[in-house]
């Protein structure tokens, strides 16, 4: 398994691109955690962990525009 991705992890339910998209919505577009969760159709707590980088911290931060 690569240290850059966990998509191939047997318990992974979403791909890294969805996590990157969720972070982009928060960091570049200023959506709230709740709004991001609704857009990506994932539980609020899951999205909160992605956006706080407690889950999938290996994905690089999105550079500011």
pLDDT tens string 6-65: 555 667 788 889 999 999 999 999 999 999 999 999 999 999 999 998 887 777 766 666
Regarding pTM above 0.85, the answer is: no
- Domain span at residue 45 reads 1-65
Q: Cα dist. 4→16, 30, 47 in Å?
A: 10, 26, 19
2 pLDDT above the threshold of 70: no
Number of structural domains the chain divides into: 1
CATH of the domain at 6: 1.10.10
Taking Cα atoms as reference points, which of 28, 32, 12 lies closest to residue 20?
28
Q: What is the largest CA-CA distance in the chain?
A: 35
Q: What is the pLDDT of residue 6?
A: 58
Q: What is the pLDDT of residue 33?
A: 97
């Amino acid at each position: 398994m690569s240290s850059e991705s966990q998509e191939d992890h047997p318990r992974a339910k979403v791909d890294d691109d969805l996590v990157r998209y969720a972070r982009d919505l928060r960091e570049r577009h200023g959506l709230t955690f709740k709004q991001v969760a609704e857009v990506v159709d994932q539980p609020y707590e899951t999205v909160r962990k992605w956006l706080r980088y407690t889950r999938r911290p290996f994905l690089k931060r999105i550079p500011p525009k």
